[in-house]
Amino acid sequence: MVALTVNGQSREVEADGDTPLLYVLRDELQLHGAKYGCGLGQCGSCTVLVDGEAVFSCVTPVMLLEGREITTVEGLGTIESPGPMQAAFIEEQAAQCGYCIPGMMMRAQALLQRNPGASDEEIVAHMEPNLCRCGTHMRILAAIKRAASQMQTASNKPAASNQERAG
């Protein structure tokens, strides 16, 4: 039994310690956002966040993850209420086939959490490990920049006062 924290929820899974996180997410927890691409940590379609850092879940054994916070694309928002990264990818129509997009969003999320004002060059360099075979790189870059802007705007808004919320 392995205890994991995924998208803020404590979960116990029946998995051998060297089982790749990707298999646990998809098969045990029914979280299908992270995709199996190469199985070698070379394409990025399986990217998730572990303690805020982008990792290839296809080569990360679950035994290394107890006590760490795992975030998948499902943890960024919902269909009804997409998070800023998800909304930006939708608004920019960044997906063609869409297979790489969850991994792209997660790698970009890691960058913007650490560096919300990332330059174009920093974004491109950070995104390099994730591959898109459809060639939507320019729309992906535009979506990341839109998400950065939306995240910065949201973080600069003052919290509503109790009176505003009540009224």
DSSP, collapsed to helix, strand or coil, labels residue 83 as: coil
Tokens 């997906």 belong to which residue?
95
pLDDT tens figures, 128-160: 999 999 989 999 999 999 999 999 887 777 655
Structure tokens at 57: 């879940």
Q: Are strands 47-50 and 2-6 parallel, antiparallel or unpaired?
A: unpaired
144, containing H or E segment:
helix 137-156
Inter-helix orientation angle 101-114/120-127, to 10°? 130
DSSP, collapsed to helix, strand or coil, labels residue 113 as: helix
87 within 8 A of 150, measured Cβ to Cβ: yes
Q: Does some domain include residue 137?
A: yes
Nearest to 44 by CA among 84, 111, 102: 102
Return the beta strands (E) in the chain as ranges: 2-6, 9-13, 47-50, 53-56, 69-71
Give the Cα separation of 159 and 41 in Å (integer): 40
Q: Does some domain include residue 142?
A: yes
- State the residue range of the domain holding 87: 2-156
Q: Does some domain include residue 15?
A: yes
Q: Does some domain include residue 45?
A: yes
Instruction: Spell out, as residue ranges, where the chain has pLDDT lower than 70.
Output: 158-167
Q: Does some domain include residue 37?
A: yes
CATH number where 16 lies: 3.10.20.30
What pLDDT is attached to residue 1?
87
Residue 125, phi then psi, degrees to nearest 5: -65, -40
Number of domains, the chain:
1
127 within 8 A of 89, measured Cβ to Cβ: no
Q: Does some domain include residue 165?
A: no
Give the Cα separation of 101 and 35 in Å (integer): 9
Structure tokens at 160: 């509503």
Q: Does some domain include residue 164?
A: no
148 within 8 A of 112, measured Cβ to Cβ: yes
* Region for residue 25 given its phi and psi (left: phi exceeds 0; alpha: psi -120 to 50; beta: otherwise): alpha
Q: Does some domain include residue 162?
A: no
